[in-house]
Structure 1
Amino acid sequence: MTALLASDLDRTLVYSRRFFDTAPPTQQCVEMYRGEPISYMTPTAAELLRQLAAHNLVVPTTTRTVAQYARINLPGGPYRYAITSNGGTLLVDGAPDQMWASAVAARIHESGPPLSHIVAELRTRVDDGWMRNLRIAENLFCYLVVDEATLPLHFVADWEQWCLPRGWAVSQQGRKIYTVPKPLSKSTAVVELHRRLIDTGQLPAGAPILAAGDGALDATLLDLADVAIRPAHGELHTLNWQRTHVSVTAGSGARAAEEILTWFHQQVRGETRSTPRT
């Protein structure tokens, strides 16, 4: 294995029924919740991921909590390494790495107001008329589940304006609005894993990082990567976020996962025309 391939999951490789824009029988369920199927891949994407993981170091890199990640039956698994909780948890053979968890907690503690302070302020700004739920994730960050149709027009911008000077970032991904401390990032966890794997000889010195993601919480991961790709949908696409080393899929929706995984295959075979940074 000569590269680390870090990919976001939701709306990058995996899609809920709401965002899965192809009709049956092109759906392959990859997640059940309370007895109901809730997440899917196309069969082609599932097979591409299975083949990719068989010969390469693929690291699922997600904002999902450990429990939410464990619900996914990701093709090509089990994955020895995974990053969950937006970088707050590094899973090794399914178990959280405690040294990494302690380091993350210390960084967050030093960076600004605690989560309890942020949540208390957030509660003063929400309304049950449009908020469906407020959830705390691993005692690291929080997110709202909202009714997009009745969400106040300026809520996200106003909330972000309050959070940013206090060291917290805000990201809206569909019905979910995340509030995350700035030290908590997927990129930081990927850097740590990359370093460890080189130190132990599991990756060669200078092994590149390849990445994929669709949301603002993926931006630092894509920036970090030697080359990366994002789908032509999602938060970054809405923001028209671009970098010279980041490709964009031609299509959107669940079919974009097929393009992303094909791109990964081309990268590891040296067939892609993407331009690494110098």
Structure 2
Amino acid sequence: MIYSRNAFSTTTDVQTVCVEHLEGEPLSYMTTTAALRMQSLAGPAALVPTTTRTIKQFGRIRLPGAPWRYAITSNGGNILVDGVPDLSWRIDIDAKVRASGATLPEVSRQLHTRIDDSWVTKFRMADHLFCYLVVKPKAVPEGFLSEWDAWCRARGWSASQQGRKIYTMPLTVCKSRAVAEVRKRLREGGELTDEAQTLAAGDGALDAEMLRAADAAIRPRHGELEQLNWTHPNLTVTRATGILAGEEIIDWFSRTAPE
């Protein structure tokens, strides 16, 4: 839903609003139209921001429609309730990760033996849950991702690339599980009916399970899922790319959500 200037992918002169700053500098944007429509959508719908970003990274964003009753960060590893991490959810996630295979320190040590500074610019731990690399995409050794993913999957993890980032993630940490939990809580609290649909949007391999689990889903015509030509019977693909795809996604939510 948000884009750096390098990701706008449009020659059309569009009006934008900055929704993220880093160290005081503007970083990410939405079109003004998308921002206004998202603001109006947040009223009648139970809108739940869902991201692979860490809690700290999510905290930099000022999305229209905030504050959020629920938000999902860390690829589903954390659920924020009124901005505060839900401790019971995180304890359960940590227990599932421990029971499912390798630990983060084990995975991190192994990954360090496979990388070097010629193509990796940063190595980051994310909320003590997973790790990711920031890479020079054209310099990544051929076969690295598939070989690393195979090593990971044998130990309860996976690897995927989105742009300049290569994520190494426990299989038990996924957005779809956190979305299902938030939906359950909203239903139990009377904020959603049993018949309410779940609609989802995403553009990366880490979003695929969430899109598959939704009643209806949309992805932009760019990003990792576009490169993989990923599709599903419940899926719509935008006509536009870049920041205009974000605007199209908001329009799709508005049209698809029941009155």
Indicate the TM-score class for this superposition, using the shorter chain for normalisation. over 0.9
2:146 pairs, out of 128, 151, 157, with 157
Counterparts of 2:208 and 2:196, CA distance in 1: 21
Counterparts of 1:236 and 1:137, CA distance in 2: 22
Deviation digits for residues 115-150 of structure 1, max 9, x if unmatched? 000000000000111110100001000000011132
1:266 pairs, out of 238, 255, 258, with 255
Deviation digits for residues 29-63 of structure 1, max 9, x if unmatched? 11000121111111111111111112211000000
DSSP-derived class of the 1:32 partner: strand
TM normalised by structure 2 equals 0.96
Residue 269 of structure 1: CA displacement? 4.0
Deviation digits for residues 51-107 of structure 1, max 9, x if unmatched? 111221100000000110010011111111100000011001000111111111111
1:235 pairs, out of 224, 228, 233, with 224
- Equivalences for 1:67-146 in 2 at 5 Å? 67-146=56-135
> Identity over the aligned pairs, expressed in percent?
50
The answer to whether the aligner puts 1:201 opposite 2:186 as a matched pair is no
Counterparts of 1:17 and 1:58, CA distance in 2: 25
Other-structure match for 1:39: 28
Does the 8 A contact of 2:197 with 2:257 survive in 1? no
Give the gaps of 5 or more residues in structure 1. 1-12, 271-278
Counterparts of 1:99 and 1:67, CA distance in 2: 19
- Equivalences for 1:238-257 in 2 at 5 Å? 238-257=227-246
Residue 112 of structure 1: CA displacement? 0.3
The answer to whether the aligner puts 1:175 opposite 2:164 as a matched pair is yes
Other-structure match for 2:45: 56
Amino acid in structure 2 at the alignment position of 1:165 = A
Counterparts of 1:124 and 1:44, CA distance in 2: 47
Other-structure match for 2:3: 15
Counterparts of 2:185 and 2:92, CA distance in 1: 15
Counterparts of 1:46 and 1:168, CA distance in 2: 36
- Structure number with the bigger relative contact order (C-alpha 8 A, sep ≥ 6) is 1
Give the gaps of 5 or more residues in structure 2. none
Amino acid in structure 2 at the alignment position of 1:174 = G
Alignment RMSD: 1.2
Counterparts of 1:169 and 1:259, CA distance in 2: 31
Does the 8 A contact of 2:221 with 2:240 survive in 1? yes
DSSP-derived class of the 2:138 partner: coil
2:201 pairs, out of 186, 205, 212, with 212
Counterparts of 1:207 and 1:103, CA distance in 2: 27
Amino acid in structure 1 at the alignment position of 2:143 = H
